[in-house]
Amino acid sequence: MTSPHMITVSRCDDGHRTHPVRRDCPACGADMHPVVIEGKGTVITWTRIERPPEGFKTPQLVVLVRLEAEREEKDPPVVLAAVADTTTKVECGNVMLIRDTQERYEAEPL
Amino acid sequence: MVLPPFGGGVDTYLHGVGHTPFGRHTARLDTLAIEAFERMHGEAEEALPEPGHVVVSSQFPGEYGGVENAAAAVTDGLGLAGLAATRVESGPSSGLAALEIADALIRSGARDTVLVVGVETMTRLPAAMANQVLARMATLEERKLGLTMAAQVALMTRAYLEEHGIERELLADCAVKAHAHGLQNPLAQFRKAVTRDEVLASGPVADPLRLYDCAPLSDGAVCLLVSREKGPLRLGAMGHATDHLSITHRNHDARTLTSFRATTRAAEEAFGRSGWSVEDIDLIETHDAFSLLEGMNLEDLGLFERGAGVRTVAEGETAVTGKHPTNVGGGLKARGHPVGATGCAQVAELFWQLTGHAEVEARSVERAQGKRPKKALAHNIGGLGNNIHVALLEATA
């Protein structure tokens, strides 16, 4: 696939997945390996940061997205991402696409 | 869960406390520690045992206070050079981390008496810089998004409100309750009542959290003197647990956005070692750095049903006059939150309340409830729920 909305998560042999990539499975402790999956999912919570740390513009819009579960997989990964256009109206349940800009993860409405 | 006692019959007792006012101070870190130490000796009714070790809790002595090598600096400042001195840090739960290490030094037989000093000076930096330092507790990926601690808790707060169908106004009521307690605490940073409307109209920080939903940046110091010699309070047991640094790595826990499981683990350890249960506890100090947390923490500690915590706090059940008095000194929200000193301040409040000390006359649980509390719990959170301590204390008289 050539979609820009592919992101790397970690998967263990038991089918647990998590993000960002890490060595050991947070669910079962097994070794994890990186897999590339579509960065598409549903907003489960979000915040608009009006008092960001030094070095960031005001505001910052951040969403927590639960990626779409493939049927045979266990608890889907969740990804924290910024919405670049901070005027975007966000609600829980919105479907978003996430990409890895190398600088950070960014989400945009589908 | 039943856990074996440890210490070979040795118990740890709390003999004295000293607590500076919390708020803005111009004094240096080591000078604030001296003030807390002098207050401790000033209010002691009997001679205090001599410490053999100083355990200093300070999360950011260098970044915030311009002091490194803080254990030696504080110990020398107190006139105790020559003693062993160690600094400990577990994020904003460092205060109870210091008590945990002091307890272990005593129960192991290494020391008879240990002085714990919790101290932090946070107000010298501009707030955006101070929040950047605090944000370093998060993962690199999270920091790239501009996530502050408030923003991370804001994500949880929205999830909690949605999951349990709670009106946002009830969070404001939790802040109102904290301020009402702070009003009765001469050492508190905020000694003023606020209304629900004032909380809701305060400046936005990270939606849905507003300024009055958040504990302030604070300076302050608190000393605790603990010993194997019998004293007015016995340290029943402590519990301690961590969790994954990032909330996204807790995706296999269905309650990841509406609880801190490290709280539950730490409480289970403390209860398992002491043989107590949450029903035995007469008075609680919990880490309410944000308006969600008093209610959520009390759920995690097993006191309230899931989803009932915020509503129960808002309804007044945890007020000094309520069924489960909690944070009667104002909590982090109103007393202030100098991170390295907070856990020690929680213990100081419990010491005063359980010994019927004059310091807490205006907010006496004994007077409000008609009997003096005997067993108490302190709960101190590091990071976004990823390094958590619970301490159980009991009056010996």
pLDDT score for A69: 78
> What is the ipTM, given to two decimal places?
0.97
B368 φ/ψ angles, rounded to the nearest 5 degrees = -65, -35
Reported confidence tier of residue B183, pLDDT bands at 50, 70, 90: very high
CA B122 to chain CA centroid, nearest Å: 16
Tokens of A1: 């696939």
Amino acid letter, B322:
G
pLDDT in tens, B20-69: 999 999 999 999 999 999 999 999 988 999 999 999 999 999 999 999 99
pLDDT in tens, B65-103: 999 999 999 999 999 999 999 999 999 999 999 999 999
With an 8 Å Cβ cutoff, is B128 touching chain A?
yes
Q: Is the pLDDT of residue A1 over 60?
A: no
Pairing of strands B375-382, B283-285: parallel
Measured distance CA(B248)–CA(A77) in Å, rounded = 7
Which residues in chain A are closer than 8 Å to B207, comparing Cβ atoms?
A: 47-48, 50
pLDDT in tens, B256-280: 999 999 999 999 999 999 999 999 9
Task: Mark B162-177 as b/e (b = at least 16 C-beta within 10 Å).
Answer: eebebebebbbbbbbb
Among candidates A80, A20, A77, which has minimal Cα distance to A49?
A80
Which residues 46-75 on chain A approach chain B with CB closer than 8 angstroms? 46-56, 60, 62, 64, 66, 74-75
Dihedral angle computed from the Cα positions of residues B354, B288, A26 and A78, in that order, rounded to the nearest 10 degrees? 160
Q: Which domains does chain B have, with CATH numbers?
A: 13-126+216-395 (3.40.47.10)
With an 8 Å Cβ cutoff, is B248 touching chain A?
yes
What are the DSSP calls for B259-294, one per residue?
--HHHHHHHHHHHHHH---GGG-SEEE---SBTTHH
Which residues in chain B are closer than 8 Å to A18, comparing Cβ atoms?
A: 248-249, 251-252
Point out the residue among B144, B151, B250 whose CB comes nearest to the CB of A47. Answer: B151
Question: Is the CATH number of domain A6-109 2.40.50.840?
Answer: yes
Reported confidence tier of residue B3, pLDDT bands at 50, 70, 90: confident
* DSSP reduced 3-state for B235: strand
Q: Is the pLDDT of residue B281 over 70?
A: yes
Among candidates B86, B106, B84, B105, which has minimal Cα distance to B94?
B86
Point out the residue among A66, A77, A80 whose CB comes nearest to the CB of B142. Answer: A80
pLDDT score for B82: 98
Omega into A20 within 30° of 0, i.e. cis? yes
Among candidates B327, B117, B121, which has minimal Cα distance to B222?
B117
pLDDT in tens, A35-84: 999 999 999 999 999 999 989 999 999 999 999 977 767 889 999 999 99
A18 and A32 Cβ atoms separated by less than 8 Å: yes
pLDDT score for B9: 85
- Each domain of chain A, given as residue ranges in start order, spans 6-109
Pairing of strands B204-206, B209-210: antiparallel
B49 and B15 Cβ atoms separated by less than 8 Å: yes
Measured distance CA(A4)–CA(A97) in Å, rounded = 9
pLDDT score for B346: 98
CB-CB under 8 Å, B204 with A46? no
A33 φ/ψ angles, rounded to the nearest 5 degrees = -130, 155
Amino acid letter, B168:
R
Amino acid letter, A84:
A
Measured distance CA(B292)–CA(B288) in Å, rounded = 7
| Residue with the two structure tokens 């400990």 | B88
